[in-house]
Amino acid sequence: MSRRVVVTGIGAITPIGNNVDQFWSALKEGVSGVDMITQFDASDYPVKIAAELKDYNPKDFLDRKDAKRMERFSQFAVIAAGEALAMSGLEVTEENCDRIGTFIGSGMGSLGMIEEEEQRLLEFGPQRVAPLIIPKIIVNMAAGNVAIKYGLKGPSHCIVSACASGSHSIGEAFRNIKFGYMDVAVTGGTESCITPMGIAGFSALTALSTNPDPKKASRPFDGGRDGFVMGEGAGILVLEALDHALERGATILAEIAGYGATTDAYHMTSPAPGGVGGAKAMTLAINEAGLLPSEVDYINAHGTSTPYNDKFETEAIKVSLGEHASKVAINSTKSMTGHLLGAAGGVEAVVCIKSIQEDYLHPTINQEIHDPECDLDYVPNVGRSAKVNVALSNSLGFGGHNATLLFKKYK
């Protein structure tokens, strides 16, 4: 059995908007969410900027008990899932709950609590470590808390593949619905690791931008790019089998029709030269959807603002799309949100769906210096109206993980 799969709900909490409407409006306006770090004193750190959530208080979204028992990355997932489920209009009942899955990835889990409790252990001894440290920090707890909060009793998985975690989660949920293992999935990614160790660790890798101007620091595909900017947040979709959605009269936002997953098997942090792994992931997604490369209208690129990623992703697009690469519109949401690591694929899937709905492409901001190795159409600085029937979303993770999702207008 092979079924069509559609999107009926989306939710997001990001550095430029605490729900989908706020987020999408800010994207269209080219608003940067990057600023000085406020979550800890970064004055002695080589990097002092990040894309943090603004005006975030978990008690504005969750009851006091839920907020206290969840770490920040789990809170984000529960909040975005609530928005997506509300949009979908799906009623979870005893009759259908075991056919609703929860596939939510994260790259790091609660790095912040690990740091805090390690310090407490060293200073005060083992008796002072928080009783709930383990169930709060483990990476699968975002999926677990979403399932608990909304009563979802179908398959539940947490995929950890660094910056590809969100896209892999959506892709695997899509396949599980397509082949009949469940009818509905709440799926995406979440991340919150703007912490002392998170910033220090990525700084030590020389992966982060050291641009002194926060608003100019994230500049994917630009000749002046020098590293990514850490971000945080969550993006969640509700996927459904088409027949299930039609039977309950759901509003269909888009269709998910293809998924490609490959591994570079090359390097711990660098994509393979030539972008061969990323190219293969795009080709697999296009083939599964039964389309031609020339039918792709838009690519939401991984576009991290690091020298190698943007160069090799550009090469990957050329390999996969051939002559059509010069005609397709490409943008990077990370130019405004920073890099949300394991949440990036979920948030950027939301962007693809909004682009399909509104036939609009947000800009890639901070396009100022031409890079001859990044010579495609990255929708520089100003968004545009454009017919978007088919969209690809790319995610590439440390370890060589590649994932591509293909969304299209529902017909």
Structure tokens belonging to residue 236 = 């969640």
**Residue 167 and residue 132 share a domain:** yes
Beta strands at 254-263 and 233-241: parallel, antiparallel or unpaired: unpaired
H/E stretch holding 397 reads: strand 390-397
Asked if residue 113 and residue 26 are part of one domain, the reply reads yes
- pLDDT at residue 388, as a whole number: 98
Is residue 17 assigned to a domain? yes
3-state secondary structure of 116: helix
Q: Report which secondary-structure segment, H or E, holds 177.
A: helix 165-178
Within this chain, do residues 76 and 200 fall inside the same structural domain, yes or no?
yes
Position 253 in a domain = no
Q: C-alpha angle 8/9/14, rounded to 5°?
A: 150
Residue 390's pLDDT is: 98
For the segment 284-323, what is each residue's pLDDT rounded down to a tens digit? 999 999 999 999 999 999 999 999 999 999 999 999 999 9
What is the per-residue pLDDT for 147?
98
Residues across the chain: 411
pLDDT in tens, 66-76: 999 999 999 99
- Percent of the chain scoring above 70 in pLDDT: 100
Task: Say if residue 95 is in the same domain as residue 237.
Answer: yes
What amino acid occupies position 162?
A
What is the CA 221 to chain-centroid distance, rounded? Answer: 19
Boundary-marking domain end, from 225, 247, 269 = 247
Q: What is the CB neighbour count within 10 angstroms for residue 117?
A: 18
Residue the block writes with tokens 């997953």: 261
Under a CB-based contact definition with an 8 Å cutoff, are residues 181 and 100 in contact? no
DSSP state, 229? -
Q: Can you tell me the distance from the alpha carbon of 150 to that of 97, in angstroms, rounded to the nearest whole number?
A: 9
Catalytic choice (97, 158, 163, 193):
163
Host domain of residue 336: 258-408
Q: Which of 2-6, 265-269, 351-355 has the lowest mean pLDDT?
A: 265-269
Q: How confident is the model at residue 134 (pLDDT cuts 50, 70, 90)?
A: very high
Of 18-22, 265-269, 330-334, 385-389, the range with the lowest mean pLDDT is 265-269
Is residue 225 located within the same domain as residue 90? yes
Nearest Cα residue to 181 out of 146, 147, 157: 157
In the structure, what pLDDT confidence band is assigned to residue 345 with cuts at 50, 70 and 90?
A: very high
Is residue 61 a part of any domain in this protein? yes
Question: Are 48 and 186 found together in one domain?
Answer: yes
DSSP H helices in 233-390: 242-247, 276-288, 307-321, 334-337, 344-358
Cα 173 from chain centroid? 15
Determine the pLDDT at residue 214: 98
Same domain, 188 and 111: yes
Q: For residues 51 and 343, is the Cβ–Cβ distance under 8 A?
A: no
Tokens of 386: 């454009």
Residue 196: its pLDDT value, please?
Answer: 98
Same domain, 205 and 273: no
Q: What is the mean pLDDT of residues 117-124?
A: 96
- Domain identity same for 242 and 263: no
Domain membership of residue 399 (yes or no) is yes
Residue 273, domain CATH: 3.40.47.10
324 inside domain: yes
- Rounded mean pLDDT, 252-268: 96
Q: Look up 193 and say whether it is catalytic.
A: no
Q: Reduced to 3 states, what is the DSSP secondary structure of residue 268?
A: coil
**Residue 1: pLDDT band with limits 50, 70, 90:** confident
Task: Assess whether pLDDT exceeds 90 at residue 254.
Answer: yes
Examine the pLDDT at 377 and tell me if it is beyond 90: yes
Same domain (yes/no): 133, 176: yes
Of 181, 215, 247, at which residue does a domain stop? 247
Domain edge (last residue) among 203, 219, 247:
247
User: What's the total number of domains in the chain?
Assistant: 2
Q: pTM of the predicted model, to two decimals?
A: 0.97
Confidence of residue 181 (pLDDT cuts 50, 70, 90): very high
pLDDT of residue 271: 87
State the pLDDT at residue 299: 99
Task: DSSP letter for 305, please.
Answer: S
**One domain for residues 127 and 192:** yes
**Residues 366, 242 share a domain:** no
Yes or no: say if 6 and 239 are a contact pair by the CB < 8 Å rule: yes
The answer to whether residue 252 sits within a structural domain is no
Q: How many CB atoms lie within 10 A of CB 391?
A: 26
**Which pLDDT belongs to residue 270?**
87
Residue 402 in domain:
yes
Least Cα distance to 150 among 88, 238, 78, 98 occurs for 78
- The rounded distance, in Å, linking the Cα atoms of 180 and 2 is 7
